[in-house]
Structure 1
Amino acid sequence: MRLLSEIYETCNFVTMELESFEAATKQEVWVKAMKEEITMIEKNKTWDLVDHLQDKEVIRVKWVYKTKLNFDGSIQKHKAKLVAKGYAQLPGIDYNETFALVARLDTIRAFVALAA
């Protein structure tokens, strides 16, 4: 059992997340986090550099910054993620179909049960 005061101490810890690339480039911890993200993208071969098609709009990207915390409230690490601004696309113009190449755990369980 933990004291209620201990629970309140961990719940009331607030961190301010960065909201701009310019602010992140001024702090070495965020520059390091962005370099790690780019390294992982290249290592996993997540993207390919292609020529811009003149009749298609480019989907832009943005950086999302999060501070990961330990249970005691201390900083575990700074995490920077490069995400696509997919919300800028228009149905029927920029895309016709959407899908996510991710299997849900329920689906995997169903296939395993069916195979057994």
Structure 2
Amino acid sequence: MKDVNSDKWIDASKEEIDSMVKNGVWDIVPLPEGHKAVGCKWVFKTKLNCNGNVERYKARLVAKGFNQKEGIDYETFSPVSRKDSLRIILALVAQYDLELHQMDVKTAFLNGDLEEEVYMCQPEGFIIEGQENMVCKLKKSIYGLKQASRQWYLKFDEIITKFGFKENCCGSMYIPQDQWE
């Protein structure tokens, strides 16, 4: 924060916190007896455009999930697509002169609902005055949690199947309903 661009990093941090509040990521609660709170830290990164100029300053709040215990605090299995599946899709797009759209979900992990009880310390620089001894009870997954990618996958699967897509179990890609066999 002693950088000449510290005001931009502060704004980026506020944007991240605002996004978490908007998405209802946590509730501020007292830490229940017998529970431990995972820590968190800020990760700062400058995003560059294609010319190498700074496009934006990105701050991400990351949970210190390395303290979590497998089987107690989280479950991690999450399928991924195979490279062969992507190659087949790209080949079909080229062969049939189709259009292919790629997308990025800006706050992907914040969409995953947590099933486990996870408590996190309040983020540095954003500790609520008068509630310094309280913690964040996470309702949504955030980066750094061991189960974050699984929770994002479960939410993505739930939504995309509502639109009539079905998972291609051979390659973990989704195909439209009209192309089911």
How big is each residue's C-alpha offset from its partner over 1:71-113, in whole Å with a ceiling of 9 and x where there is no partner?
0011000000001111112335x52634522147864615744
Question: Unaligned regions of 5+ residues in structure 2, if any?
Answer: 77-146, 158-166
From 40, 51, 74, the equivalent of 1:72 is 51
Residue 48 of structure 1 corresponds to which residue in structure 2? 27
Between the aligned partners of 2:23 and 2:59, the Cα distance in structure 1 is 16
Instruction: Encode CA deviations 1:40-88: one digit per residue, 9 max, x unaligned.
Output: 1111112222220120110111111110001001100000000111111
Aligned residue pair count: 92
Which residue identity does 2:75 align to in structure 1?
A: E
Structure showing the higher helix proportion among its residues: 1
Q: Which residue of 2 aligns with 1:13?
A: none
Tell me, in whole angstroms, the C-alpha distance in 2 between the residues paired with 1:41 and 1:96: 21
Q: What is the root-mean-square deviation of aligned Cα atoms in Å?
A: 2.8
Q: TM-score, normalised by structure 2?
A: 0.43
Give me the whole-angstrom Cα distance separating, in 1, the residues matched to 2:40 and 2:70: 19
Describe the shift of the 1:68–1:82 C-alpha distance in structure 2 as closer, same or farther (beyond 3 A).
Answer: same
Higher relative contact order (CA 8 A, sep 6+): 2
Which structure shows the bigger proportion of residues in strand conformation?
Answer: 2
Which letter does structure 1 place at the counterpart of 2:23?
Answer: N
Percent identity reads 34
TM-score with structure 1 setting the length: 0.64
